[in-house]
Amino acid sequence: MQQRAIKQMIIPSQDFKLDFGNPQGKTSETWHGGIATIFESPGDEVWGVVWKMNKSNLSSLDKQEGVKSGMYVPIEVNVSTQEGKEITCRSYQMTNYERVPPSPQYKKVICLGAKENGLPPDYQKKLNAIEPNDYKGKVSEEIEDIIKKGEAKTH
C-alpha cells in the first residue's frame, strides 16, 4: 500500500480521547491486552500523524483494521494542523469494546511512535503515564523487532 506522511502534527477534532480495550471483551492474541481506539469526549484531544493515501487502498486498510469482522468502524474526524488548517480524515473506532489496559509491549510501541513522530512532549508524558496490564509473556518476533528498532532510533 503506497502511503506518504503529511509532515504536520494534528489534533483530531479537539473532542476525542484515546482509550484501550477489546471488542466484545475478546483479548488480542497479537497484543495480549487492550488495543487503541478513540471516542468522543468534549474537551479532550488526541495527537497523531496524518497519512495521505490513494482511495483505491481504502479496502486494504479497512481489512487491516478489522472493519469486515466488525471490530472497528471507519469514522470521519475533523482535525486541525498546527497551522490551523482544517482537514477531514478517516479514523477507526472500536465497536462494542470493553475497556482493558494495554500490554507493556503495546504501550511501548504507542509511546515509541509518538516520540519518533515528534508529538508534543506533554502528550508523550500522558501516553507514558498509561498504566499497562501485567502481561510478561512473549510477543511476536515482528513486534519485538519494532520495539528494538524504535528504541535504537530514539536513544
Q: Annotated catalytic residue: which of 40, 65, 83, 116?
A: 65
User: Shortest CA distance to 132 belongs to which of 111, 106, 150?
Assistant: 106
Known binding-site residue numbers for substrate: 106
Q: Give catalytic status of residue 65 as yes or no.
A: yes
Residue-by-residue DSSP string for 93-130: EESSEEE-PPPHHHHHHHHHHHHHTT--HHHHHHHHT-
Instruction: Report DSSP state, residue 73.
Output: E
Known binding-site residue numbers: 106
Question: How many Å apart are CA 36 and CA 51, to the nearest integer?
Answer: 18
Backbone angles phi, psi at 67, to 5 degrees: -65, -45
Beta bridge partners of 88: 78
* Helix orientation angle between 141-154 and 104-116, rounded to the nearest 10 degrees: 40
Q: What amino acid positions are annotated as catalytic residues?
A: 65
